[in-house]
Structure 1
Amino acid sequence: MATSVNPTVRRRRLGAELRKLREARGMTAEEVATRLLVSQSKISRLENGRRSISQRDVRDLCQVYGVEDRRIVESLMTMARESRQRGWWHAFGDIPYSVYIGLEAEAASIRTYHSLVVPGLLQTRAYAEAVVSGTGPENTPQQVLKQVEVRMKRQDRIREAEPVRFWAVLDEAALRRVVGDPQTMREQLEHLVDLSMLPHLTVQVIPFSVGAHPGMTGAFSILEFQEANDSDVVYLEGVTSDLYLEREADVHLYTVMYEHLRAEALSPEQSRALIAQVAKEYSR
């Protein structure tokens, strides 16, 4: 688990506490917004952790909710202060999916499904460069380099003393699609074989022979956290914006879907053999 303060997770935890206080008071987000002369969307963004929360916001909300216990107020103030700190990824400037990186940095386990590419945490540098360049043709060389460096830094999560528990299900297409060149693919798949032997990392492949399966609707990831108060999150990457699902019903739906994908995929041992076989084909 990450040891430094994670502003993304702090915002989520603080937002959840503020939502509990509002609900205990029996107030709607619209009523709170009216009291504070702000928009309802601001209250919603504060509660779902998508917006930075200032200590002034906390003070005003505590007054509306009638919170008189100074210990509670001070605890929320501390969380607000920590939520405005900068994570390691902020040193790279404006980068895509920064919210996801913050969640990934704190997750205890990640289950991910990809149909077209190898997941970022498992990519070699050459493969990552080819992916970033190919999916963002308008990126400058400097932007490509920055995004690749961030991706390499993210991979610390699978190398830490207490690494994230990572489970990846891939469609066979991710092995067959030539990203970069055959040598890049061979090195990537050999790297994937090596990683799949780590005790905290599992890789399964859904072969073409399975035919249609639930994952054909698109890639997704399910992140779970150590703290009981941190709800699981389903992450769906978009072109212009990403989607984060936290409702219990949504998480359950994707969890069931993931179990179907794992059941239809080859076993980890069979998957490793297939990946090694395809890597040899690229060698030829």
Structure 2
Amino acid sequence: MPNQPAQPTLRRRRLGDALKKFRKQVGMSSEHASELMGWDRTKLSKIETARAHIKPTDAKELLGIYGMDAPDVIMAIEGLARDAGKKGWWTTYGNVVTAGYKDYLYLESDADSVRVSSPNLIPGLLQTGAYAREIITALAITRTPEEVNALAEICKARQAVLTARDGRPPLNYWAVMHEAVLHQTFASQPSLMREQLRHLLDLADLPNVTIQILPTEMAPNPGMLGPFEVVRFPHPWPTVINLENLRGGYFVEGTEDVEVFETAFDRIVAAALPVDQSRETIKKITEKG
């Protein structure tokens, strides 16, 4: 049976991009590097464009050819080479998960931290199942009821990164949302929001979760323009910005663009209530409900 071509997963694309960057830093052609590895002249080109696999041991040897001997970089490249072909748990949901959403789920599972500015919604990793289903129903305009249920299940399953990740530390998660979000109502489920707010308070107790609220009387800040996420990874992987709209999400990865969003998040944090006051705000609204 012939070998199946490698699927260009996001992990494989990031690995290929990193190897290409290291090669270009030493001014070596892909053909020459392939020859030094004893490969066909086109193999490295296929690896760099995510069309071929590379073994962790080969990745380490390739880094040696490029003169890269930093232990943390070698470990990161070997790890990604080892995991590049692994399928995420979300693949069991088939085409319900779009290509862009799959890419984001890979990023989220590999990240060290995520910082979220969510002015109009409670962020996905902080949602209860009932809240998620209501929001997905409202926003996923082209989805069937069955797909909405599946997407709500996926939203809940994603939240495992906040507590356990196969021996890795839980995801460090920092979310800022507007106070108006806490006053949302759902006519069909009057108790839904109270349960959601209690859930926020429970999650706020986790040492890796930070929740801040932008008060109604807030100073103008970049969060007014819409939601975004700053997704950070261990060295040497670059930070990625995730932006979403009704048609899905897309990523921003250029250094200058990323810095703009990181600065924006810092300013949003400065405009928000401190963590303790944010918690009290959530608690008071919960008690009123």
**Length-normalised TM-score, structure 2:** 0.76
Equivalent residue, structure 2, for 1:171: 178
Equivalent residue, structure 2, for 1:197: 205
Range 18-27 or range 160-169, more displaced:
18-27
Deviation by residue 1:102-131 (Cα, 9 ceiling, x = unmatched): 000011111111011111111101001101
CA drift of 1:279 comes to 1.8
Deviation by residue 1:160-219 (Cα, 9 ceiling, x = unmatched): 162111110111122122256431111001110111111111100001101532101110
Q: Secondary structure of the residue that 2:103 maps to in structure 1?
A: helix
Alignment of 1:247 with 2:254, yes or no, is yes
Equivalent residue, structure 2, for 1:53: 51
User: Are 2:16 and 2:50, in contact at CA under 8 Å, matched by a contact in 1?
Assistant: no
CA drift of 1:22 comes to 3.9
CA drift of 1:241 comes to 4.3
Alignment of 1:15 with 2:17, yes or no, is yes
In structure 2, C-alpha distance between the alignment counterparts of 1:253 and 1:122, rounded to whole Å: 25
CA drift of 1:86 comes to 1.7
In structure 2, C-alpha distance between the alignment counterparts of 1:72 and 1:134, rounded to whole Å: 49
User: Are 1:224 and 1:232, in contact at CA under 8 Å, matched by a contact in 2?
Assistant: yes
> Which amino acid in structure 1 is aligned with residue 280 of structure 2?
A
Alignment of 1:217 with 2:207, yes or no, is no
Equivalent residue, structure 2, for 1:149: 153
Equivalent residue, structure 1, for 2:238: 231
> Which amino acid in structure 2 is aligned with residue 102 of structure 1?
Y
Equivalent residue, structure 2, for 1:126: 130
**Structure 1 ranges of 4+ moved more than 4 A:** 73-82
> Which amino acid in structure 2 is aligned with residue 53 of structure 1?
R
Equivalent residue, structure 1, for 2:90: 89
In structure 1, C-alpha distance between the alignment counterparts of 2:17 and 2:248, rounded to whole Å: 21
Q: Secondary structure of the residue that 1:186 maps to in structure 2?
A: helix
Q: 1:276 to 1:73 in 2, by over 3 A?
A: closer
Q: 1:145 to 1:21 in 2, by over 3 A?
A: same
Equivalent residue, structure 2, for 1:257: 264
Aligned residues: 249
User: Are 1:53 and 1:84, in contact at CA under 8 Å, matched by a contact in 2?
Assistant: no
In structure 2, C-alpha distance between the alignment counterparts of 1:77 and 1:123, rounded to whole Å: 35
CA drift of 1:280 comes to 2.4
CA drift of 1:237 comes to 1.3
CA drift of 1:10 comes to 4.0
